[in-house]
């Protein structure tokens, strides 16, 4: 009797050692190396880095290996590691106009200064399983595989010249760091963009899709989508100048959205903005659409009650580490609460029965 909750400690140890064994799989199959993950599962690594909000390919690969390919679990591992790191400085803002592009497309202009560049993309591939990959020794070669070696201007800057594009104003405030300060609502666009950039790809995708289907519809043109290398610069006060501390790959998406104009402003194009670590195109697009939907108040648009317009709803629920933790906590014992519910429901049922008899 009374064995149900005993032995927790031993059960945990046993479960974990079993899990380690299963994680390794059949020992006659070679162990997957971190190099293999960073080189061949690159987009998975990029997703883990972006939602883990820590740019480190090797750690992301380690997390993917440790989590048996469960990317949300991998993101969690990276986040938990990230919080233990010292914050010794903030980098200078990245200028994405200086990006050396791997890919750069615009859906608004056929020809753009600097040219369109498809880069390594799944777009226009036929989604047919490639059985050649079953042979493990293939080494495909491509004649063109270079990053651009010169910077190219942002496509939207050409619309800026005509004043057709709403100018983004710098409010000269230091943006909050949402990993160091709690968000309170209503919040700033800077805080929203931070939350979206590390938000769950699936959640953002669904919400962005909902805006396309009419829930806060605001048709978005992809003004520009660019993926490439940017430099991270740090100002060292002791040295008195900036030094380049890293090069990272970013995906940036700027959408051009219609704006009917309001009482105070003439019609103008407006921008939705997405910026994400790594090659994370779907996420950056979704982020831009949601950013734009969330700007309704600032632009004097109507609130249609759509989920994607609801800042508190979107930002409070986009983080998959918060979401998965709370969702999965219902696996924990709830004996006590359930017991109190049992007592209550028995009492209410007994009362109801008594009342029926009385009738």
Partner 1 sequence: MNDMSKDKNIDIQIYNFAYLDENTKRMIRRALLKALCIPGYQVPFSSREMPMPYGWGTGGIQVTSACLIPKDVLKVIDQGADDTTNAVSIRKFFQKTANVAVTEKTSDASLIQTRHRIPETKLKEQQILVYQVPIPEPLRFLEPRETETRKMHALSEYGLMFVKLYEDIAKHGHIETAYAYPVKTNGNYVTDPSPIPKFDNPKMNNNPAIQLFGAGREQRIYAIPPYTNVKSLDFEDYPFEAMKANFKCSICGSSDSYLDEIIVSDDGKRSYICSDTDYCKEQTQLNSKEEDQ
| 230: β partners | 248
Nearest to 200 by CA among 47, 286, 320, 74: 320
Q: How far is the CB of 195 from partner 1 (least distance, A)?
A: 13
Token pair 């983004």 is found at 168
Is the CB of 146 or the CB of 340 nearer to partner 1?
340
To the nearest whole angstrom, how small is the minimum distance from the Cβ of residue 82 to partner 1? 7
Nearer to partner 1, 4 or 356 (CB): 4
Q: Shortest approach of partner 1 to residue 358 CB, angstroms?
A: 13
**Nearer residue to partner 1 within complex by CB, 252 or 319:** 319
CB of 329 to partner 1, least distance (A): 3
Around Cβ 168, how many Cβ atoms within 10 Å? Answer: 12
CA–CA gap between residue 306 and residue 216 (Å, rounded): 6
Nearest to 109 by CA among 161, 167, 156, 165: 156
The binding site for partner 1 (CB under 8 A) comprises 1-2, 4-9, 11-12, 76, 79-80, 82-84, 86, 179-186, 312, 316, 321-322, 324-329, 332-337, 339-344, 347-348, 351
CB contact set of 155 (below 8 Å; sequence gap of 6+): 106, 108, 109, 112, 223, 224, 254
Minimum CB separation from partner 1 for residue 318, in Å? Answer: 13
Closer CB to partner 1, 150 or 331, in the complex: 331
Q: Which residues are CB-contacts of 81 (< 8 A; sequence separation ≥ 6)? A: 54, 59
Q: b or e along 113-133 (b: 16 or more beta carbons within 10 Å of the residue's beta carbon)?
A: ebebbebeeeeeeeeeeeeee
Give the HSE-up count for residue 196: Cα atoms under 13 Å, Cβ half-sphere. Answer: 34
- The HSE-up count of residue 159 (CA atoms within 13 Å, CB side) is 22
Closer Cβ to partner 1, 21 or 351, answer by number:
351
Whole-angstrom distance, CA of residue 42 vs CA of residue 36: 9
Closer residue to partner 1, CB minimum distance, 92 or 347: 347
Nearest residue (CB) to partner 1, 9 versus 111: 9
Supply the minimum distance, in Å, between the C-beta of residue 67 and partner 1: 13
The Cα 114–Cα 149 span in angstroms is 11
Closest CB 305 distance from partner 1, rounded Å: 13
**Nearer Cβ to partner 1 (42/187):** 187
CB of 74 to partner 1, least distance (A): 14
Find out whether 286 and 54 touch, Cβ atoms under 8 Å.
Answer: no
């Amino acid at each position: 009797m009374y064995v149900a909750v005993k032995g927790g400690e031993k059960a945990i140890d046993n479960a974990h050692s079993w899990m380690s064994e299963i994680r390794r799989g059949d020992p006659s199959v070679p162990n997957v190396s971190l190099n293999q993950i960073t080189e061949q599962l690159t987009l998975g690594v990029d997703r883990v880095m972006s939602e883990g909000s820590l740019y480190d390919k090797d750690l992301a690969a380690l997390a993917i290996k440790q989590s048996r390919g469960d990317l949300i679990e991998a993101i969690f591992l990276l986040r938990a590691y990230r919080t233990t790191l010292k914050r010794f400085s903030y980098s200078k803002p990245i200028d994405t106009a200086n990006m050396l592009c791997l890919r750069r497309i615009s859906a608004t202009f056929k020809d753009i200064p600097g040219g369109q560049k498809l880069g390594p993309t799944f777009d226009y591939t036929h989604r047919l399983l490639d059985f050649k990959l079953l042979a493990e020794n293939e080494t495909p070669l491509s004649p063109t595989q270079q990053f651009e070696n010169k910077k190219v201007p942002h496509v939207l800057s050409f619309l800026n010249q005509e004043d057709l594009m709403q100018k983004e104003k710098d409010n000269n405030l230091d943006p909050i760091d949402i990993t160091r300060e709690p968000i309170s609502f209503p919040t700033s666009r800077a805080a929203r963009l931070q939350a979206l950039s590390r938000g769950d790809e699936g959640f953002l995708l669904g919400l962005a899709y909902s805006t396309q289907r009419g829930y806060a519809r605001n048709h978005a043109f992809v003004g520009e989508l660019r993926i490439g290398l940017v430099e991270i610069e740090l100002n060292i006060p002791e040295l008195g100048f900036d030094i380049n501390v890293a090069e990272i790959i970013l995906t940036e998406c700027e959408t051009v959205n219609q704006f009917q104009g309001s009482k105070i402003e003439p019609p103008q194009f407006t921008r939705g903005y997405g910026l994400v670590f790594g090659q994370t195109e779907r996420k950056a697009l979704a982020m831009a659409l949601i950013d734009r939907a969330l700007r309704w108040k600032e632009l004097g648009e109507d609130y249609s009650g759509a989920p994607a317009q609801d800042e508190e709803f979107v930002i409070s629920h986009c983080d998959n580490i918060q979401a998965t933790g709370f969702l999965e906590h219902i696996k924990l014992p709830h004996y006590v609460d359930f017991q109190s519910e049992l007592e209550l429901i028995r009492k209410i049922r007994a009362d109801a029965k008594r009342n029926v008899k009385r009738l």
